[in-house]
Chain A
Amino acid sequence: MDATTLALVVLPLLLLQFGLLGYALYDLFQEDRRVRGDSKVMWALIILFVNVVGPLIYLFLGRDESRGVALEATATGAPAPGSSTAAILASWPRLESTTEAAVTTSGLTKRYRGGVVALDKLDLTVPSGSIFGFLGPNGAGKTTTLRLLTGLAGATAGTGTVAGVPIGRTDGQLARNIGYLDQDPRFYAWMKGRELLDMVARLHGLHGAERRRRVDDVLEIVGLRQAGHRRIGGYSGGMRQRLGIGQALINQPRVLFLDEPVSSLDPEGRRDVLAIISRLRGTATVFMSTHILNDVERVCDRVAILNLGHLVVEGPIDELLDRYAQPIFELEPEPQQPGAVEKLAGLMRRQRWAQEVQTTSDTVRVFAKDPGVAGPAILPLVVKSGVGLARFERERPSLEDVFLRLVAESGPPIAPAVHIPATGLDGRARR
């Protein structure tokens, strides 16, 4: 509330309120009024009661704790994770080098009432230390999988382990080894950011100076050191997301589950959150569900693609791109050659290895069935046509191309899932 509002609205209203209250009480106790004797006390109480009821109704029903002044990240000093973050994370225990998988599932199935199968016989192995992208269109079963793995829901069939602990254990062993960020993290609006982290640290059994130091470290990592003393109700969406990552990190988890961690953020917020995730490499295994494929390519080592509750493919990103991405050749004729684009496009369309040819005003894009044949054949054809080329390029296929192709192809009935080992199909070690 600014000073002008205070001066022009609130103060006059308060003066009016208390003025009327004071006048009514003054008038009540005048000698010549109808109300006499002890009844004046009763009337005074009625007047005070009416003044109290309004605030009480407001306190019970009128307050909306979920709302507040959105303090934008820029105003609260949310620096991109920097050197201090790196130093803090470097001081955290590293994941021990192990061949044991961080997450395994075997035949994991979730069937809801009414027969809806959200997840169908999921067999998955996530190597320890990886940043694992769990991809799929909306309704693929990503969130269901995360809920099963974190113990928030029970599986209809199948088993799984997280950090070696069977899922479904309720003795706290699973919770001590994991961190979890919900898709749309909501916290107690009345709490301060620091208080939330402190509470979570207490639940994880941290005490005294160690707990305070951990809270400070996590606030630094997620860039909320300045905003830690503010009410969460006033946080922006990006700040809530970073606080969510903070609460998931407070116990230095071995496996960190993030459900769509950047989907609701602006580009700057996404950059910050992805930077935090990247820096966790070696400190925790990160299992991240998302459908923002550019982000996956930026931070993830391995991915799994899920569709309609079925695993479509799983493996290192490079391997998936090599195996499934359709090569694209792009040709750009020299300017000042009327009809050159149409001429090249017509020529390419006649080739048996060309699956599809697309044109723009100045380029021709050729989708080849077999890049081994198309690559050497294209340039001789161009020379033969007499068109001068300004640019010839084989485009690096994106994960999005692979994703769209595999999801489109994996509609029911589902083909058996393809697993690409951590060493890659060619036997070389992958990232």
Chain B
Amino acid sequence: MMGFGTLLIKELREQLRTGRLVAVAAVFILFGTLGPLTDRYMSELINALGSQGGEMTITVPPPSLSGAATQILKNLTQFGIVCALLLAMGSVAWEKDRGTAGMILTKPASRAAFLGSKLAAIAVNLAIAVILGCGLAYGYMLVLYPQAFDIVGYVEMALLLWWMLVGFASITLLGSTLTRSATAAAGIGLVALLVLSIAGSLPVIGPYMPISLGNVAFDLVLGSDPGWILGPIVFNVLLVPAVFGVTWLVFRNQEL
């Protein structure tokens, strides 16, 4: 991959300079820490609101580690996917549209390096955000709950979450390569998300879908038995390079 190192440095610098690195990290920190806080204080908040004289009764489950895990995973999955789509949707489309892709690719830089540096930079960005978001959420749980998760299971959860987000980013990157419009690329990413979510609920192929990694992550963090996970994990590990390969095939002979 001719020129990969130089282009990766450029991409990482771009993530930093354009504020994307900070923004994504802030989203993960915010929604990561909101997970345990929501679980811990929601019942009190509802009670406080309910005590204002209303007749309505709302039942909120008592705070628990599994509740916190649900909140963390739910928050970071939802907002993480949005971040992954936002990061990847314009990465190739904008460069093609503005002509910067042409400028780079008339230099000794391969098209595989051009694409690879983008996916790698997004993966690094998401990794930093997941580490910060999950790390701070873990710290909050240590403070707010009498006992904490097993750290190994928690790290495994963070890893699966990160890889799932990289998977969605790679699909959106494919969309960004297919089109010159970032909006269309985001649309492709959202349709892929929808299709994969529906497929995730199907009986045979469901466990293999990226979205199902969340269930595996949930079981791992709580120390439950997630069942047979080798197949789904191998499938999802291979999904990213497979999608990247398709992206490269599309981009290889594309006219700029």
Contacts and interface: CB of A to CB of B under 8 A. Distances in A.
A42 B106 contact: no
B255 A202 contact: no
B108 A185 contact: no
Nearest to A199: B10
Interface string B185-200: 0000000000000000
B44 A154 contact: no
A190 B18 contact: yes
A38 interface: yes
Given A52-B26, A56-B27, A190-B18, A175 B107 contact: yes
Contact of B107 (A65, A182, A185, A203): A203
A interface residue count range (under 10 / 10 to 19 / 20 to 34 / 35 or more)? 35 or more
Contact of B30 (A43, A52, A59, A180): A52
B37 A172 contact: no
A247 interface: yes
Contacts of B98: 66, 186
Nearest to A154: B253
Contacts of A52: 26, 30
Interface string A46-76: 0001001000100110010110000000000
A277 B46 CA distance: 73
Nearest to B46: A39
Nearest to B30: A52
B106 A151 contact: yes
A199 B103 contact: no
A170 interface: yes
Contacts of B27: 56
Contacts of A150: 106
A415 B242 CA distance: 52
A170 B110 contact: yes
A200 B30 CA distance: 38
Contacts of A92: none
A303 to B, nearest CB: 24
A205 interface: yes
Contacts of A172: 2, 108-110
A279 interface: no
A203 B108 contact: yes
B23 A59 contact: yes
Interface string A142-182: 00000100111110000000000000001110011010101
Given A152-B256, A186-B99, A203-B3, A42 B41 contact: yes
Contacts of A180: 102-103, 106
Contacts of B213: none
A37 B48 contact: yes
B256 to A, nearest CB: 5
Nearest to A179: B106
Nearest to B87: A60
Contacts of B108: 172, 175-176, 203-205
Contacts of B106: 150-152, 175, 178, 180
A184 interface: yes
Interface in B21-70: 22-23, 26-27, 30, 34, 37, 40-42, 44-45, 47-48, 52
B93 to A, nearest CB: 14
Contacts of A66: 98
B19 interface: yes
Given A59-B23, A153-B255, A175-B107, A188 B37 contact: no
B14 A190 contact: yes
A35 interface: yes
B6 interface: yes
Given A176-B108, A188-B14, A205-B108, A37 B37 contact: no
A34 interface: yes
Given A42-B37, A203-B108, A63 B99 contact: no
A45 interface: yes
A353 interface: no
A173 to B, nearest CB: 8
A182 B41 contact: no
A343 interface: no
Nearest to A152: B256
Contacts of B109: 172, 175, 203
A199 B17 CA distance: 15
A24 to B, nearest CB: 16
Contacts of B255: 147, 152-154
A171 B110 CA distance: 8
B86 interface: yes
B215 interface: no
A34 B103 contact: no
A184 B48 contact: no
Nearest to B107: A203
Contact of A34 (B2, B30, B52): B52
A29 interface: no
A242 B114 CA distance: 25
A205 B5 CA distance: 11
A185 B23 contact: no
B41 A39 contact: yes
Nearest to A184: B99
B100 interface: yes
Contacts of A204: 107-108
A182 B23 contact: no
B249 to A, nearest CB: 14
A349 interface: no
Pairs A-B, 8 closest by C-beta atoms: A172-B108, A59-B23, A180-B106, A202-B6, A39-B48, A190-B17, A153-B255, A203-B107
16 contacts: A34-B48, A35-B48, A39-B47, A41-B37, A41-B41, A45-B34, A59-B20, A152-B105, A180-B102, A180-B103, A182-B103, A195-B13, A199-B6, A200-B107, A203-B6, A205-B108
Given A188-B14, A203-B3, A203-B6, 5 more contacts: A42-B42, A154-B255, A170-B110, A172-B108, A176-B108
Interface of A: 34-39, 41-43, 45, 49, 52, 56, 59-60, 63, 65-66, 147, 150-154, 170-172, 175-176, 178, 180, 182, 184-188, 190-191, 195, 199-200, 202-205, 247
